[in-house]
Each structure stands twice: as structure tokens, then as C-alpha cells.
Amino acid sequence: MKTTRHVGLVMIISGATLWGISGPMIQWLFQNSDLTPSNFLIVRLLLAGIITLSLLFFSKKNIFGIWKHPRHWIQLIIFGVLGMLGAQYAFIETIHVSNAVTAVLFQFLGPVSITIYVAMKTKKLPTVLQLLAVIAALGGTFFLITNGSVENVVLSKKAIILGLLTTIGFTFYTLHPVSLIKEWGTVVIIGWGMLIGGIALTIYKQGFSVVHLAQTLTVNSLSIMLLVIISGTVSFILYIGSLKYLSATETSLLSSVEPLVTAIVSILWLNESFGAYQLLGGLFIIAAVVFLSIPDKSEEKKISTEMMS
């Protein structure tokens, strides 16, 4: 039991670290090549989708069954276009117009956004920990955007809008496919979502050309791009795999390594500089996710009582 727990810990920390590193690598690509966010995302989604579905297919998983159910594949297409593509596009564009750390922190606001949505939908007041999480997230976002001064906003208007769209996108990305995942499995839905998102963006960006893309890339930029795609795919597989050995609470807490890794790599590799209040804002946002990950003792007691009665 102890050994399997160690395996889970290694998997989630490795996965969060790989995802944290991928943000600065994407930023480096935009700074050192003529690669556009759209072209990068087309390649990333198509390759990651094909790799994921191929692994499932050769593992004898039923990846085509969902297409026999119209209600399910309609939901899948909506998820692929609005969820997978929407969230990823806003995230990549946020990196493009600001930096990797900002994009990751806006992404990390997703759990707080989900908490607010669920509270409004169920018409239930949030718990004390949830309320603390919302307050910490709002305070963190304020410091991230302003660096403590309302008169001198650090982020551009475009970066703020794209960052908020990243939060909304990852909220939709998490909530929409819940029923599909229960029916068909997480990896199948994510695999198809990436492939559908990539196809949709390719159709929308009709000027996309593999030949033109190849001409804009050097050996270094091509290597980095492939590393980003591979690390992102491996990161997701490690995260999903860790759930076999750890609780969802533990994985949520340990995934907080991601923005810290992104910040360290950005400072050391890309020479990014952040204001003291911006760094404080980042810690507030991470604290918000930690608050949400702590089990509600009153709810646990209620469930235990119901089970005993």
C-alpha cells in the first residue's frame, strides 16, 4: 500500500512539473520564432489527440462507440470546440500577450469559478473554506493584475480579457463533459476533444499550411514545440494515472506545484521579473485552490451519520 502511494505521489508531482514547464516553453517559442498561437495550437491538438486515441486503440479500448449515440457525440463536439479548443486557445493567447505565469494563474482560478457556479446553481451558501477560497482568489487576481496599484495596471486590457476567458474556458472544460466521462471514460473524451478542437481550428484558419509552418521553424524551435506536445500529453496521463493511488484532494493539493514550477522556470530561464504584489497574488490564488481541496468536516460527519442510520 505504501509503495503504490509513493508511485502516485511521483506521478502527480511529475505531471504537475511537466505541465508547469510547458508554459515557459510555449512562451519561448513565441519569443524566438514566427510561430502563431493558432498554428501552434492546431499542431498541438491534432498530434496530442491522434497520439492519445492511438494509444487507446492499440490498448483495445472502444474509442468509436460514442459515435453511435447522437446525443453523446453532439455533446462531445460541443466539448471539443468550446471546451477543449476554447480553453486552450484563451490560455495560449494569454501566454502570447503576457507570460506563462499569468496564464497558469488565471487557469488556476478555474476551481474557484466552479465553486461559485455550483453555489449559485444549487442556491446554497458556500462553506467557510469555500468563502475563504473566493476571497483569496479575488485578492490574488487583484494583486496579479495591478501589482498593488490601481493607477498602474500591470497587465494590458487584452491580457486581462484573455486571462478571464481562460478561467471561463477551463470552468466549462471541467463541468461540461462530466456525464460523458462517466459513460465513456476520461481519456477517450479528452482524446476526441483534442482531435475535434484541432480539426475545428484547422477549418477556421484556412490559411494553415504545414509547408509554411515548417519554414518558420528552426531545429531548436521544432524541438521545443515537440517537447511541449509530448510533455503536455505525458503530464495528463500521469495526472489521470495518479488518481488510482491518491485521493482527488491529494492530487488537487499536489497540483499546486504547477504554478510554482512555471514561475521558477520563467524567472531562471526567460529572465521574467514579477512585482512583489504579483507574486503575493500568485500565492493567494494557490492558497484558494488549497482551501477548496480541504475536505469539509461537517459534510463528512453528515455522510457518516447517514451511513450509520
Is residue 307 included in any domain, yes or no? Answer: no
pTM of the model: 0.85
**Confidence class of residue 305 from pLDDT cuts 50, 70 and 90?**
very low
Q: Residue 80: what pLDDT?
A: 95
Domain around 168: 2-295
Specify if 169 maps to a domain: yes
Query: For residue 309, is it within any domain?
Result: no
pLDDT band at 217 (very low <50, low <70, confident <90, very high): confident
Is the dihedral angle over the CA atoms 145, 146, 151, 156 positive or is it negative? negative
Using an 8 Å Cβ cutoff, are 131 and 292 in contact?
A: no
Report the mean per-residue pLDDT for the chain: 86
The letter for the amino acid at 97 is V
Residue 303 included in any domain: no
255 found inside a domain? yes
Res 301 pLDDT > 60: no
What mean pLDDT do residues 233-252 have? 76
Residue 304 lies in a domain: no
Q: What is the C-alpha separation between 48 and 262, in angstroms, rounded?
A: 21
- Provide the number of structural domains found in the chain: 1
